[in-house]
Amino acid sequence: MTITVAPRRGHSLRELLYDAGVRLPSDCGGAGTCGKCRVRILDAAGERSILACQHVPVAPVVVSAEMGPIGRMRRRPARRESAVLRLAADIGTTTISLAAVDMSQRRVVARDEALNPQMVFGSDVINRIAAGKKIHRARLEPELLRFMDEQGIPSGRPVVAVGNTVMAHFLMGRSAASLGEFPYKSLLPLRRRLSHRRGGIQFEMLPLLGPFVGSDCTAAILASGMYRSPRLSLLVDAGTNGEVVLGNRERMLVTSTAAGPAFEGATLECGSLAQTGAIRAVRHDRYRFRPSVVGGGEAKSICGSGVLDAVAEAVRVGKVEASGRIVESARLNVSTGQRPVFLSQSDIRDVQLAKGAIAAAIQVLLAEWGASAEEVERVHVTGRFGASMSPKSAERIGLLPPMQRNRMRRHGNLALLGAAKATLEPLLFEEAERFASNCREVMLSSHPQFEQAFIDSMRLEPWN
């Protein structure tokens, strides 16, 4: 698309385009390091290619750009007229997941998903915090109100929303700046129900468990049922803001780790979310990769589960070393064709960082509990990536410890399911407050074992 943009003092071209409805990807939050907001412009200096986040126009400029991947991911379900529908929402760092809950039928009757519009300010919560007051220009409420209108849900009905602590602060109308600097304190109360009216919506939120462990984790615990079980269980959400829980009905250890968006897929060179044309699974056979593509046809991109398989298979056949170095090439070609799909060396490093953060967090919680991986009787893996990942690939590169297959449960979105359950059963808010009081947050940044565990876990090999 081509658009003419007028200058505004102190505003970058990326910000001006955002205000005009053109949302460019910006994993680095405008620091000029990711290179994903590159556009072609025509002004008095001629035609050239620039990074929109680094250019402050002083005169009108003509911009040629593709719409960034900020917007719908699925077609919305048909409108439903009902007097008993309510909305449950999981506000993730990368995606917003919505569910229309029918109170009479006691089930979810429609779902939808979109990329979080705040992605234009960076792919992780640190960049969102750094954006400061600018973040409020990417309001979350309009996305929810559109879905409510299309489903016939009156805007006056309370919405049960969950999210990490940064997203919770945004929804509750508070600054998240205190979460970005020592001593990392939440301005919202912990371990109790939250309520706030914002943007025409009355939000009800399950308890936050700590400065870095949000209500999405509370909702996942609620949906998994681990807080009622006598057996030792592990819950892993390998999303951008990775969360890990270890415990049972007596007590729980919770932590959050900066896994980054590598397993979400969207920030890799050929990456995307799990959409049509994305490679979702890979095996290596007869000297080449054989990808499985969402919707069939030619591969256009690769999503998180495909990335995991590709790296695991590449390690198995010697195309990638345990150190992460790609052998004999500058990139790992997963699919060839008119539009080759590959993983760059930088992509592999991002996978190592994400894998190392999650694996190290699990190891620290096991050490704090005084248990071995073999003593864990149930493992819940959740999130867009967790639901579709191959346990075999996860074990091969050491993302998860080896375990008997019947101990693992994979769930698409336990956080959204927990929010829907709390919508149907308001007494679950009290239940959540009770088990929240038995949760202890383990701060990885100051834990004496985390740094070494993280360094060791960077290697792409199974647990010892």
Least confident interval from 52-66, 195-209, 276-290, 331-345? 52-66
Residue 192 is predicted with a pLDDT of 96
Q: For residue 190, give the 3-state DSSP assignment.
A: coil
Query: What does the pLDDT read at residue 400?
Result: 94
pLDDT of residue 82: 54
Q: Coil, strand or helix: which one is 115?
A: strand
Cβ-contact 264, 116 below 8 angstroms: no
Query: Nearest Cα to 336, choosing from 298, 372, 310?
Result: 298
pLDDT given for residue 121 in this prediction: 83
399 touches 238 (CB < 8 A): yes
Instruction: Confirm if 272 and 69 have CB atoms less than 8 A apart.
Output: yes
Looking at the DSSP assignment, which residues form a beta bridge with residue 237? 243, 382
Which of 241 and 352 is assigned the larger pLDDT? Answer: 352
3-class secondary structure, 140: coil
* Predicted local distance difference test score (pLDDT) of residue 77: 52
Averaged pLDDT score across all residues of the chain: 89
Residue 71: the pLDDT is: 42
- The domain at 2-64 falls in which architecture? Roll (3.10)
Cα–Cα separations (whole angstroms), residue 217 to 34, 115, 246: 29, 20, 12
* 64-73, 116-125, 301-310, range with greatest mean pLDDT: 301-310
pLDDT of 31 higher than 50: yes
SS3 368: helix
Cα–Cα distance, 366 to 353 (Å, whole number) = 20
Given a cut of 80, is residue 139 above it in pLDDT?
yes
157, pLDDT greater than 90:
yes
CA 321 to chain centre: 27
Ranges assigned E (strand) in 183-309: 194-198, 201-205, 233-237, 242-247, 252-257, 278-285, 288-293, 301-302
List the single range of 178-187, 303-312, 437-446 with lowest mean pLDDT.
178-187
Q: Which residues contact 413 (CB under 8 A, 6 or more apart)?
A: 90, 97, 382, 383, 384, 387
pLDDT in tens, 180-213: 888 889 999 999 999 999 989 999 999 999 999 9
pLDDT digits (tens, 9 = 90+) for 60-81: 989 986 654 444 444 445 455 5
Contact in structure between 255 and 365 (CB atoms under 8 Å): yes
More confident residue, 323 or 259: 323
Looking at residue 113, its pLDDT comes to: 87
Over residues 136-147, mean pLDDT = 87
Helix (H, G, I), strand (E, B) or coil at 374: helix
Lowest mean pLDDT among 5-9, 130-134, 330-334: 130-134
In three-state form (DSSP H/G/I as H, E/B as E, the rest C), the secondary structure along 310-355 is: HHHHHHHHCCECCCCCECCCCEEEEECCCCCEEEEHHHHHHHHHHH
Side-chain-side CA neighbours of residue 161 (13 Å): 27
Q: Domain map of the chain by residue range?
A: 2-64, 85-205
pLDDT at 327: 95
Cα radius of gyration (the chain): 22
Q: Is the peptide bond before 183 cis (omega within 30 degrees of 0)?
A: yes
| Residue 155 vs residue 249, higher pLDDT | 249
CA distance 107 to 113: 18
Beta-sheet strand order (sheet of 194-198): 107-115, 95-102, 85-91, 159-163, 201-205, 194-198
**What 3-state DSSP class applies to 105?**
coil
Q: What is the pTM of this model?
A: 0.85
Share of the chain above pLDDT 70, in %: 95
Residue 210 is predicted with a pLDDT of 94
Give CA–CA dist 129/215, Å, rounded.
18
What CATH number does domain 85-205 carry, 3.40.1230.10, 3.30.420.480, 3.30.70.20, 3.30.930.10?
A: 3.30.420.480
Whether residue 460 has pLDDT greater than 80:
yes
Query: Residue 179: how many CB atoms within 10 A of its CB?
Result: 23
| Of the candidate ranges 153-167, 187-201, 308-322, 395-409, the one whose mean pLDDT is the lowest | 395-409
Question: Which pLDDT does position 261 carry in this prediction?
Answer: 78
Query: What's the pLDDT score for residue 75?
Result: 43
Four-CA torsion 411, 413, 419, 424, nearest 10 degrees:
-50
Split at pLDDT 50, 70, 90, the class of 89 is very high
| Ramachandran quadrant class, 207 (left: phi over 0; alpha: psi -120 to 50; beta: rest) | beta
Tokens describing residue 398: 């050491």
User: What pLDDT does residue 447 have?
Assistant: 95
Kindly state the tokens that stand for 193: 């129900």
- Look at 162-166, 272-276, 298-302 and tell me which has the smallest mean pLDDT: 272-276
Q: Which helix (H) or strand (E) holds 101?
A: strand 95-102
pLDDT of residue 10 exceeding 60, the answer is: yes
